[in-house]
A and B are shown apart, each in its own frame.
Chain A
Amino acid sequence: MTLLAEPIAPPIPVEPSPAPALEVEGEVKTKELVIVNWSGELDKVWPVMILSSTAAASGVRCKVFVTFWGLLPFVKDQKRIVGENWMQKMLTLMQRPGIDHLKLSKMNFMGMGPWMMGVLSKKYRVASPRELLEAATTLGVEFIPCQMTMDMFGLKREDLIDEMGEPAGAATAIAMMTDADASLFI
């Protein structure tokens, strides 16, 4: 006896997929870049800020999904220790939040490395992550905080800078990335 001798239900007719939106002659779809800002380290947040502001300056729509360690640089300046329980508070005690207090992923040397980077960037007039963040937000880059990270770190919406968008989750990040022309995980 075969288990599936005959189909239980007639096969569902395949619906024709919707026709792709017609492009107006001569009009080009706006290109889109998505960056997942994960690391929260100076040498990685910096390129995120450079690329996102440059994308927006180049007319490329840019969205940055901000998650895990990457969320701490987006905490407001005046917030020093954030979180609801001692473990969350401990986290921000060890890693000071805010865009001006980033550590290097290598050669941090108890803050000597970032200090030297700061001196060098001023000498060569490289815009700081803070200046680039301001440029990015004024040019319309969207920063979307990860709700799960906010919960785990005990961060409330008001702990984060006002320029941030509405918190969202992984499905939103996936939809953003699959809709975009390019996506980066930094």
Chain B
Amino acid sequence: MATLEITTHVDARGLSCPMPIVKTAQAIKPLASGAMVEVLATDAGSVKDFAAWSRTTGHELVEQSVDGAVYRFVIRHK
């Protein structure tokens, strides 16, 4: 499957739990299936949290990386 373009960006840098998840959920809600969302966060708990959230919601965590203290997640709407 061709990689779709990221259309939505969520900047959750500096925010503590649970706001990175809450903001991502709010951003992804109106999007169509297959839409790609990029999330930036600095909450160290977000690595485990985004994996768990992806499991409960079914939105696929397609990519994750860390650059210094910034975590980057790319999520595909289910």
Check if A135 sits within 8 Å of B56, measured CB to CB: no
What 1/0 flags go to B58-74 for Cβ under 8 Å of A? Answer: 10000000000000000
Chain A proximity of B8: nearest CB distance (Å) = 15
Contacts of A138 in B (CB 8 A): 26
Interface size, chain A (Cβ < 8 Å):
18
Check if B16 sits within 8 Å of A57, measured CB to CB: no
Q: For window 31-78 of chain B, which residues contact chain A by CB distance below 8 Å?
A: 52-53, 56-58
Assuming A31-B56, A59-B56, A59-B58, is B22 touching A54 (CB within 8 A)? yes
Contacts of B56 in A (CB 8 A): 31, 58-60
State A138–B22 Cα separation when bound (angstroms): 10
Chain A-chain B contacts (Cβ-Cβ < 8 Å), number: 49
Check if A57 sits within 8 Å of B22, measured CB to CB: yes
State A44–B63 Cα separation when bound (angstroms): 35
Interface of B is mostly: helix
Q: Which residue of A lies closest to B42 (CB)?
A: A125
What 1/0 flags go to A118-153 for Cβ under 8 Å of B? Answer: 000000111100011001001100000000000000
Q: Which residue of A lies closest to B19 (CB)?
A: A127
Check if A50 sits within 8 Å of B18, measured CB to CB: yes
- Of B14, B15, B24, the residue contacting A57 (CB under 8 A) is B24
Check if A59 sits within 8 Å of B22, measured CB to CB: no
Check if B15 sits within 8 Å of A125, measured CB to CB: yes
Check if B26 sits within 8 Å of A58, measured CB to CB: no
- Of B14, B15, B53, the residue contacting A58 (CB under 8 A) is B53
Contacts of B24 in A (CB 8 A): 57
Chain B proximity of A121: nearest CB distance (Å) = 8
Contacts of B18 in A (CB 8 A): 50, 53-54, 57, 127, 132
Chain A proximity of B17: nearest CB distance (Å) = 7
Contacts of A66 in B (CB 8 A): none
Binding site for B on A (CB under 8 A): 31, 50, 53-54, 56-60, 124-127, 131-132, 135, 138-139
Given contacts A56-B25, A125-B14, 19 further A-B contacts (CB under 8 A): A50-B17, A54-B22, A57-B21, A57-B22, A57-B24, A57-B26, A58-B25, A58-B56, A58-B57, A59-B56, A59-B58, A60-B56, A125-B15, A125-B16, A127-B18, A127-B19, A135-B22, A138-B26, A139-B22
